[in-house]
Amino acid sequence: MTDPRVKKFAEILVNHSARIVKGDRVLLEATEAARPLINELYKQILEKGAFPVPAIWDFASHDTTYLKYANDEQLDFVPPLHKMAYEQFESRIRIHSSNNTRALSGVDTDRLQRRGKALGEITATQMKRGGAGQFKWVTTLYPTQAYAQDAAMSLEDYEDFVFRACHANEDDPIAFWNSVRDKQQAAVDNIQGHDQVILRGPNVDLTLSIKDRTFLNSAGIFNMPDGEIYTGPVEKSVNGWVKFTYPAIYGGVAVEGAELTFSNGKVTSAKADKNQDYLLKMLETDAGSRYLGEFAIGTNFEIDKFTGQILFDEKIGGSFHMALGASYPETGGLNKSAIHWDMICDMREDSEILVDGELYYKNGKFAF
Interval 266-303: pLDDT, tens: 999 999 999 999 999 999 999 999 999 999 999 999 99
pLDDT score, position 60: 57
Mark 107-142 as b/e (b = at least 16 C-beta within 10 Å).
Answer: beeeebbbbbeebbebbbbbbbbbbeeebbbbbbbb
Q: Which amino acid is at 215?
A: F
Note the pLDDT of residue 235: 96
Sketch out the chain's domains with CATH numbers.
4-169 (3.40.1830.10), 184-366 (no CATH)
For residues 324 and 109, the model is more confident at 324
**Is 199 or 115 the better-scoring residue by pLDDT?**
199
For the stretch 205-256, pLDDT in tens is 999 999 999 999 999 999 999 999 999 999 999 999 999 999 999 987 899 9
Strands 259-263, 239-243: pairing is antiparallel
Q: Model confidence over 216-230: pLDDT tens digits?
A: 999 999 999 999 999
Q: What percent of the chain has pLDDT over 90?
A: 83
What's the pTM? Answer: 0.86
Rounded Cα gap, residues 228 and 329, in angstroms:
17
Region 87-116: mean pLDDT is: 88
| Cβ neighbours for 169, distance < 8 A, ≥ 6 positions apart | 5, 8, 163
For residue 95, pLDDT beyond 80 = yes
Q: Which amino acid is at 304?
A: D
- Mean pLDDT over 70-89 rounds to 94
Q: What is the pLDDT of residues 142-197, one digit of tens each?
A: 999 999 999 999 999 999 999 999 999 999 999 999 999 999 999 999 999 999 99
The span from the CA of 201 to the CA of 72, in Å, is 45
pLDDT on residue 123: 87
pLDDT at residue 59 in the model: 59
Q: Which residue in 65, 66, 28, 98 sits closest to 252, CA to CA?
A: 98
Q: How confident is the model at residue 108 (pLDDT cuts 50, 70, 90)?
A: confident
